[in-house]
Structure 1
């Protein structure tokens, strides 16, 4: 059986990890008003990034089926897509959890 780490290129792993970090990072201290992104902007950008990653992975998969790209590239694109989807699902779960906490607060 092939070693899992030998299938992936290091640069693609770093790129996927960096992309996932950008989606989950948030400032520790509140920023002054009028600067930085709003929460809605962060969610919108994360969703757009996820859609773009999905489209790229689908394009690579289609090219792989026609023989234009190798299996290695298809696997890398699929793993990057999987990582992105996991991060988005985690973000969704946190938003739902926060919403449920707010609903449970006494008025």
Structure 2
């Protein structure tokens, strides 16, 4: 069976990230560079948003277990969490790849 990450293209991940930012109303990387935000600030904003999504999904799952929220909402929160995790893992991989490339540069 083909591993999902092997068929996931970089442009697809960027498109999904952009779409998720548009849906959530949060600024994407284009907005960050337009207002002069540094790369590290952009990464911090993205990771803070991801941690918030994880906490939201966890709270929804707990409420789903107690019966306060319906199954449909729990499934939606889980799917949102899955896409957030995939985007963050992709971002992490790109940062590590860039770091390794810099380390291979001759002085």
Superposed CA RMSD: 2.7
Deviation at 1:100, TM superposition (A): 0.5
Count of residue pairs brought into register by the alignment: 88
Structure in which a larger fraction of residues adopt helix: 2
1:54 corresponds to: 54
TM-score for the superposition, normalised by structure 2: 0.71
1:17 corresponds to: 19
Q: With CA pairs under 8 Å and 6+ residues apart, which has the higher RCO, 1 or 2?
A: 1
TM-score for the superposition, normalised by structure 1: 0.71
**Distance (Å, rounded) in 2 between the aligned partners of 1:102 and 1:26:** 24
> What's the CA shift string for 1:3-53, capped at 9, x where partnerless?
xxxxxxxxxxx9x932289686447xx86xxx5110110010011001100
Does the CA contact (< 8 Å) of 2:53 and 2:81 recur in 1?
A: yes
The ranges of structure 1 where at least 4 consecutive aligned residues each deviate by more than 4 angstroms after the TM superposition are 20-24
Structure 2, unaligned runs of 5 or more: 1-15
2:88 corresponds to: 88
Larger Cα Rg: Structure 1 or Structure 2?
A: 1
